[in-house]
Amino acid sequence: MRTKKKMLMAAVPVAGCLAALGATAPAAHAAGTDGSGGTSYQATLAPVALNTPSGAASGHVTITINGDRATVSEQVSGLATTLPTDTKTLSALGIPAAFAGKPFPHVQHIHINGQGVCPTSSADANGDGVISTVEGHHAYGMIGTTLSTKGSTGADTATDVTVAPGGGSFTYQRTFTLNQDTLSAIKNNKAVVVVHGLNPANAPKASLSTPNSLGVTLPGANKKLALIGTAPAVCGKLVSSQMNTMPSGGVATGGGSTSGVQDQGLFYGAGGLLLGAGAVLALRRRFGKQH
Ligand SMILES: [Cu+2]
């Protein structure tokens, strides 16, 4: 039942997936038939229940594995764009003033060896209307790999915002050595990509006032970071590309697909800026009421 539902939901962003494949056509092609180019896995990133409204954010991840080397290509849109600039708001969220107006950091991981799925609303164990990172562990498992922008890809950088991609829409590409646990989990269908950090403009109310579930305190902050900083925003299970791999002739459509990706990026980029401005206003309103 659940599987069927997920498949139906996954059918919507198929155009985006194909477009992304077009952009990475050489890798996908190499992985396809000759057997020497490695294996590709993909995840369609969708809003996490409760945390991100349906349709507000999306993304796509392709991981091509050669031995223990992995090349990750990712595109995400519709996430929180920038951190608030208002001092009171920042303080209430456990964000140091030095972070004011900076791109919203989105720590991201390959979670492994849970149920190999994204959490549904039933994962909200304490019923506060937010699925915290910890509440999601049963579904997607623990952190296997940190998709950091530089340095370690281990659990040691899991919550290091200085090596996390930032902004509402971003592309991420990195080649690195994958640890054995993550490698096995991906092959065993037990790997899920999770991007964290909720958009204050549309996040559940409790995420603004509740401390994060991982005990993260940002350097220079006087309290723990609020849940919006770490809660899972979008999520997608990694699946083998075998059944979705483009036929070798598919490269011919690469040009059209690539421009589609660019248009999509521009579209979401503009929307993201609007959401960012709205976020600050909404936060001010919410916190204004409390005082
Ligand atoms: Cu994670």
Reported as a single tens digit per residue, the pLDDT across 72-97 is: 999 999 999 999 999 999 999 999 99
Q: 192: pLDDT confidence band, cut at 50, 70 and 90?
A: very high
Domains of the chain: total: 1
Distance 155 CA to ligand 1 centre (A): 10
Per-position DSSP letters for 20-80, written without gaps between them? HHHHTHHHHHHHHSSSSS-EEEEEEEEEPTTTS-TTS-EEEEEEEEETTEEEEEEEEESS-
Distance 154 CA to ligand 1 centre (A): 12
Distance CA 130, CA 252 (A): 44
Tokens of 153: 């890809």
Predicted pLDDT at 73? 98
**Does the residue 72 lie in any domain?**
yes
Instruction: Identify which has the larger pLDDT, 42 or 20.
Output: 42
**Does the residue 223 lie in any domain?**
yes
**Does the residue 32 lie in any domain?**
no
3-class state of residue 100 by DSSP: coil
Distance 28 CA to ligand 1 centre (A): 26
Distance 222 CA to ligand 1 centre (A): 24
Contact status, residue 54 vs residue 169, Cβ threshold 8 Å: no
Burial 2-22, CB ≥16 within 10 A → b, else e? eeeebeeebeebeebbbbbbb
Largest CA distance in the chain: 65
Q: 219: pLDDT confidence band, cut at 50, 70 and 90?
A: confident
Distance CA 19, CA 254 (A): 8
**Does the residue 116 lie in any domain?**
yes
Distance 159 CA to ligand 1 centre (A): 9
Please report, for residues 7, 52, 72, 89, 161, the alpha-carbon distance to residue 92 in angstroms, rounded to integers and kept in the order given: 40, 21, 35, 5, 19
The residue range of the domain holding 177 is: 2-10+38-290
Predicted pLDDT at 193? 98
Contact status, residue 43 vs residue 237, Cβ threshold 8 Å: yes
**Does the residue 164 lie in any domain?**
yes
Distance 153 CA to ligand 1 centre (A): 12
Distance 252 CA to ligand 1 centre (A): 36
Instruction: Identify which has the larger pLDDT, 250 or 208.
Output: 208
**Does the residue 20 lie in any domain?**
no
Distance 290 CA to ligand 1 centre (A): 31
Tokens of 149: 């922008």
Q: 33: pLDDT confidence band, cut at 50, 70 and 90?
A: very low
Predicted pLDDT at 121? 97
Nearest 5°: phi and psi at 110? -95, 110
Mean model confidence pLDDT for the chain: 79
Q: 9: pLDDT confidence band, cut at 50, 70 and 90?
A: very low
Distance 143 CA to ligand 1 centre (A): 6
Model's pTM, two decimal places?
0.73
**AA identity, residue 46:** A
Q: How many residues does the chain have?
A: 291
Distance 232 CA to ligand 1 centre (A): 7
**Does the residue 221 lie in any domain?**
yes
pLDDT digits over 239-272, tens only? Answer: 998 754 444 433 433 333 333 333 232 223 233 2
**Does the residue 21 lie in any domain?**
no
Distance 46 CA to ligand 1 centre (A): 14
* C-alpha dihedral sign at 147, 148, 154, 155: negative
Distance 142 CA to ligand 1 centre (A): 8
Distance CA 159, CA 156 (A): 8
